[in-house]
Chains A and B, each alone.
Chain A
Amino acid sequence: MSTARPHASAVGWAAVLVGSAVAAPLAGVYPLYLMSLAAIAVIVSLSMDLLMGVAGLISLGHAAFFGIGAYTSTLLTAAGAPFVVALLGGGVVAGLVGVVVGVPALRVSGHYLALTTLAFGEIARLVFLHWESVTGGASGLPVSRPALPGWLRPELAYFYVIVGVAAVLAWFMQNVLRTRPGRAFLALGDSEIAVQCSGVSVVRWKLAAFALSTFYAGVAGGLFGPLIGFIDPASFTLMTSLMMVMMIVVGGRGTFGGAILGAIIITLLPELLRTTKDLQFMAFGFILGGSVFFLPRGLWGLAERLIERRRIAAAPARAAS
């Protein structure tokens, strides 16, 4: 987390937010769709960053929680619940399931969490696929968009809803990380043994981080359904989970900017790689592996380092004048 100049960076991010809100009405249908998708990805990315960047945990089944949020909020909406209730409901159910999945795995080493979440991702996909009376099976469920004021294009109005939710969740996450629980999460990422020796319960705070992270993933899923207008098991596969991991690895672990940059890049990557077709999947593998080797702090870390270097280079000149 960039603690050097919190106010300056807050102003910077507010500018990005306002900029995208102003640019949105000018964007065509497809660019606006991608922007909406990227805003949802930002929530997912923050959720992954809390685990991987901050607490040093890993989930290879986050698509399952994303999916649980999507199905839950769709079913709640169909049952007549207001949009906000459906959205929060999706997040809460995903968070509760996250705790149930996390309890066994978090008691042992981190590898277990990785493979348990991977296995859970498979279970969830099988449930989405086979529990046809509820999930609609392979043919999926139609999702209606919430009723929004009519004086905006519906896509545009919904984009503002997504961006609003993403901004609130981002703000909340930044604040959590400055509080006592947040410091516990950060300490977990540094050294579990030190955390234990300081009398802080490792399991409890790991579980708290996991619950918060899966809640975020669930809310993101609740926003995803109405954007696409339709949900099916094919949207929540292992590949989706791996894309979520890529967001953090490529963007940069443990930095707010890295999470946002990663979300945007991974959302746009399939567009950029469209011409490569069959090689796209392989490119993902190389990008993921290459990032660990050559960008240990992600693209955001690289950018920060370049800026820092330029500042140092400029410093003697300023001192001389």
Chain B
Amino acid sequence: MELFLQQVVSGMVSGSIYALIAIGYVIIYKATDVVNFAQGDLVMAGAYTGILTYSLLSLPFGVMVIAVVGVGAGLGLGVGGMVSLMLVRFQSSMVNTIIVTLAVGIVLNSTAMLIFGPNPYPLPITFGKVPISLWGVRITPLSLVVIGFSAAVMVVLSGFFRFTRLGKAMRATAQNRDAAALMGISVRKMFALSWMIGGVLGALGGMLLAPLILAEPSMGIVAVKAFAAAIIGGFTSLPGAIIGGFVLGVLENLAGGYMSTAFKDGIAYFALGAILLLKPTGFFERRAVRRV
């Protein structure tokens, strides 16, 4: 039982990170109908920004967070700008949007490779080394901070979407672009904002991930797991993506703990296939909407 609880708690730590990255996918997709294939590289960029500011320049934690948010917003806006430029000026097909986001991802990835090299870097944030014991489950302060930080971001975000004018405008744009434009909402600005928020969430995910694993240029593959989490949630539901992230994180750790660590990485991919096969609309989507 204790092993079980221990695995569930560790699962929630990685799950909260998957959830953050997954929300990034969902916000961009809901607003613009684009799946951001550079999301994984934004995660990577966030991790390296953390390393650059916190361990190489030894700036305080708060400054690191601000830097990561800035980099995430900037890069997100950059990717979105490229995609929008292509959609407006050139052939707009799904394949093209995928290729453009992939290409930006490759450039980001190779930039990281060029600056930091292929070797993994640690991000030594610990918040104290002594694990806290809760009902027999040992949890490190860092894990608590990761879960707490992710939860705080989610609360702020849902408050933003629910209570602020801008958040409501974004929701309106996601629901019906034309109607939103007729209500005087600048759809272009809402698109840009979605890309920025999506980028920030990816980068923050990377910043939280780096202290748990090591940062390396190929760490962006974690975004595929976040994508699986978003699929569990139906890909257009924010609460769904959050629950999907936690479910996936916990499942993954249980598989790693009870079966074999070799299965740990595979679980997300199999979940992805299984859900597409059995319930392609996910578990939190009321209806499948398709724009024609």
Contacts and interface: CB of A to CB of B under 8 A. Distances in A.
Tell me whether A and B are bound partners: yes
B272 A116 contact: yes
Nearest to B105: A285
Interface in B240-279: 262, 265-266, 268-270, 272-274, 276-277
Interface residues of A, number: 43
Given A116-B276, A118-B224, A281-B109, A289 B99 contact: yes
A56 B93 contact: yes
A289 B113 CA distance: 19
A56 B94 contact: yes
B104 A110 contact: no
A121 B269 CA distance: 10
Interface in B144-203: none
B269 A282 contact: no
A116 B277 CA distance: 11
A58 B98 contact: yes
Highest count of chain A CB atoms <10 Å: which of B85, B86, B102, B262: B102
B253 to A, nearest CB: 18
Given A122-B224, A249-B99, A296-B90, A286 B107 contact: yes
A34 interface: no
A126 B266 contact: yes
Q: Which of A57, A193, A292 has the most CB of B within 10 A?
A: A292
B273 to A, nearest CB: 5
Contact of B292 (A110, A193, A278): A193
Contact of A292 (B37, B86, B105, B280): B86
A147 interface: no
B228 interface: yes
B75 to A, nearest CB: 14
A107 B280 contact: yes
Contacts of A290: 103
Contacts of A292: 86, 90-91, 96, 99-100, 103
A122 B272 CA distance: 13
Nearest to B106: A285
B115 to A, nearest CB: 10
Given A116-B273, A116-B276, A279-B114, A110 B106 contact: no
Contacts of A181: none
B221 interface: yes
B86 A293 contact: yes
A110 B224 contact: no
A50 interface: no
Interface residues of B, number: 44
Contact of A285 (B85, B98, B107): B107
Interface in A255-301: 278-279, 281-282, 284-286, 288-290, 292-293, 296
A111 B93 contact: no
Contact of B265 (A52, A103, A126, A242): A126
A115 interface: yes
Contacts of B85: 293
Main secondary structure of the interface of A (DSSP, over half): helix
Given A104-B277, A120-B269, A289-B107, A111 B99 contact: no
B114 A115 contact: no
A245 interface: yes
A101 interface: yes
Nearest to B114: A278
Given A123-B269, A281-B113, A111 B98 contact: yes
Contact of B277 (A103, A284, A296): A103
A285 B104 contact: yes
B110 interface: yes
Contacts of B265: 122, 126
B103 A288 contact: yes
B104 A296 contact: no
A313 interface: no
Contacts of B82: 289
B95 A130 contact: no
Contacts of A116: 272-273, 276
A105 interface: yes
Contacts of A278: 110, 113-114
A108 B90 contact: no
List of 3 A-B pairs having minimum Cβ-Cβ separation, nearest first: A289-B103, A285-B106, A104-B276
30 contacts: A56-B95, A60-B102, A104-B277, A105-B276, A114-B35, A114-B37, A119-B227, A119-B228, A119-B272, A122-B224, A122-B269, A123-B270, A126-B265, A126-B266, A238-B221, A249-B99, A281-B113, A282-B106, A282-B110, A282-B111, A282-B114, A284-B110, A286-B107, A288-B103, A289-B100, A290-B103, A292-B103, A293-B86, A293-B90, A296-B90
Interface of B: 35, 37, 82, 85-86, 90-91, 93-96, 98-100, 102-107, 109-111, 113-114, 221, 224, 227-228, 231, 262, 265-266, 268-270, 272-274, 276-277, 280, 290, 292
